[in-house]
Structure 1
């Protein structure tokens, strides 16, 4: 029992330092990492670009060791790292200020170390991540002017006049293209979430209206007849009993109508999932096609699990397949429903992953089979085959209205 107590105490002693470190490097919600939900590519780029610091040592070492340039370089690393990291984790509106800090640091270091060109290039390349391309071009111009000042005033090599603008433009252009794609995907994701939210809200309102139309009159009738039966209970017990029997018949009829309405609501599971799949894939730039998806009339016991299987398969295409086309084919013949989900992505889908195992269990519970064909770099095809019972006669189908108990009397 003493070890957990000791560990908790140790964590308590380290807590304030860890909390301060977390606060110092936690991305602001309005920063690049915060707005884009901290994409992995952007974090790797920020980390790898720090290796350019090696040039700060290589350039002056070619001319020999000197304690003056070493001291100046070590001192410059503090404002450089501070400004560079804050370009990613502080609000985007402050990026220009931090880029200016990098340019000033480079000007201060230029008389001691020619590697100061790295700071200028870092400012120009990183500012390409800014939402405004004008801010990036302005930074490139400022960095080029600083390079010219270093050449004239500090005797820096004239190659800086070409290296700074060229590297800033080439490296920054790739960042600009990448960020346009990332922001477009973020906007599509937000619009898709908004579409889903509005669809959910509309469905809730529709259900509310249906329930009001379905139960409003019935419950009012139940309330009136119950009140009448209460008043007749002492004066005419027989009439009161007949009123309560009528209340019972109305209540049972309302219960049957509610069950029929709920069953009708559930029938749209697979159709709704197909619509959601179209929204998700097309928002991701994947061409979507569907055959046999318009005439679906399945029992809920089969439709709901198949909707979950479809959702998992489409999610895999969206997240992992890197596909440009996806297709769903559904057929129902000879008592068997077949659903084929295919894409032209990278393939190599693991046959025993958690998602695939869940799909296989759902299909197996329906007495069906699930086959996966996913050769590397040749796309993935998932085929589901499920036995379907023969459709019910029209007399007891979904169009038949339930009859209240006692109506035949």
Structure 2
């Protein structure tokens, strides 16, 4: 029963959070944690401060004014998160106005001014406009403190905290914009890689089917002419047509399989995005010849699994990836400077090993506590094929047809 009540409470809390701060904004619970700073408004009641001279007086007027200001503040606070443009500007300035209005009754009303400075970096305006607005707000607060004869150390403390909050949020929003740009770049890389792959497949199919279909057409015409005067010759031509068609079908299937193959270039881009978004430096060098689809897919998936494990478990600061070939083999090395640990076989590592071994390769993983982890993959390159390929056979057959004619 208690478990059901708890789950219901959690679901209700999540609904309230999504209603006040929509999920797509990506703030999570952070706006609600920020409300804890409202406790500073009640310090005059705790310590008995009196507005204007910081003398002992914890009268009920301070409590009433402070509670009323909080009631006005909460809608403005969540509106500043949910809106943008002029409405966000108005909400931010209204929060600062609350601080000015409450200052005669509560010497800790600078809390509202600090909230306002925290929202300034979210404005859709040049940075000099946002910084200038903060200077104006603090200057107005200095004038009010002077008129109320408050000690100037309050202004110094307010400037220090407001400036720290402003620049902290400024860099936070700038990092979010960079991450969004990285995601867009990642999507663009994937799109361009997919486009290039489709173009390659199209060229391969055109080259393959152009020769093959021309051969099929010529041999079919020849068989039709020979069917009456040379039935055996016609039979041979029909058999050649059947053989060439089966070979072409096999090569088309292999070419189309490349559409689903994972590319190393795209995976390197994805790995860089994943790691650098998490604050991990990524360095790589590649020196590879053109690879069969099966080999490239095996290497790309091994790289993906290795990088994902680093991001999730290694607590690394740097990752190095090397891809090279030598003596009829291709090599992949992934080295991180993370915490290292005993290797525990899991589904991901087992799947990676199976894919590598399926193309005749070898996977080795070494890890020492405190010295990082290294993943090495070695794949043998297939021996160059000898003899005529389908296109050569097609051209030879076409030459044979020419001699017949």
TM-score by length of 1: 0.72
Gaps of 5+ in 2: 49-56
How far does residue 153 in structure 1 lie from its aligned partner after superposition?
5.5
Aligned positions of 1:36-185 closer than 5 A? 38=26, 43=28, 45-63=30-48, 64-91=57-84, 94-130=87-123, 132-152=126-146, 156-185=150-179
Q: 1:24 corresponds to which residue?
A: 19
Q: 2:264 corresponds to which residue?
A: 273
CA–CA separation in structure 2 for the residues paired with 1:248 and 1:105: 91
Residue 196 of structure 2 corresponds to residue 202 of structure 1: yes
How far does residue 49 in structure 1 lie from its aligned partner after superposition?
2.8
CA–CA separation in structure 1 for the residues paired with 2:78 and 2:256: 52
Classify 1:178/1:24 alpha carbon distance in 2 versus 1 (closer, same or farther; 3 Å). closer
CA–CA separation in structure 2 for the residues paired with 1:191 and 1:225: 50
Residue 273 of structure 2 corresponds to residue 288 of structure 1: no
Classify 1:217/1:308 alpha carbon distance in 2 versus 1 (closer, same or farther; 3 Å). same
Residue 349 of structure 2 corresponds to residue 356 of structure 1: yes
CA–CA separation in structure 2 for the residues paired with 1:350 and 1:116: 55
How far does residue 212 in structure 1 lie from its aligned partner after superposition?
3.2
> Once the two structures are superposed, what CA deviation does each residue of 1:231-268 show, in whole Å capped at 9, x if it has no partner?
x79xx777899778746634542442453466467689
Gaps of 5+ in 1: none
Classify 1:186/1:352 alpha carbon distance in 2 versus 1 (closer, same or farther; 3 Å). farther
Q: What is the count of residue pairs matched by the alignment?
A: 378
- CA contact 2:285–2:323 (8 Å) conserved in 1: yes
- CA contact 2:219–2:241 (8 Å) conserved in 1: no
- CA contact 2:41–2:106 (8 Å) conserved in 1: yes
CA RMSD of aligned residues (A): 4.6
CA–CA separation in structure 2 for the residues paired with 1:340 and 1:19: 43
- CA contact 1:326–1:344 (8 Å) conserved in 2: no
How far does residue 306 in structure 1 lie from its aligned partner after superposition?
3.3
- CA contact 1:351–1:372 (8 Å) conserved in 2: no
How far does residue 173 in structure 1 lie from its aligned partner after superposition?
1.5
CA–CA separation in structure 1 for the residues paired with 2:304 and 2:14: 40
Aligned positions of 1:170-319 closer than 5 A? 170-216=164-210, 218-219=212-213, 246=237, 249-250=240-241, 252-257=243-248, 259-260=250-251, 263=254, 272-274=263-265, 276-277=267-268, 280-281=271-272, 284=276, 286-290=281-285, 293-295=287-289, 297=291, 302-317=295-310
Secondary structure of 1:65's aligned partner: coil
CA–CA separation in structure 1 for the residues paired with 2:72 and 2:239: 81
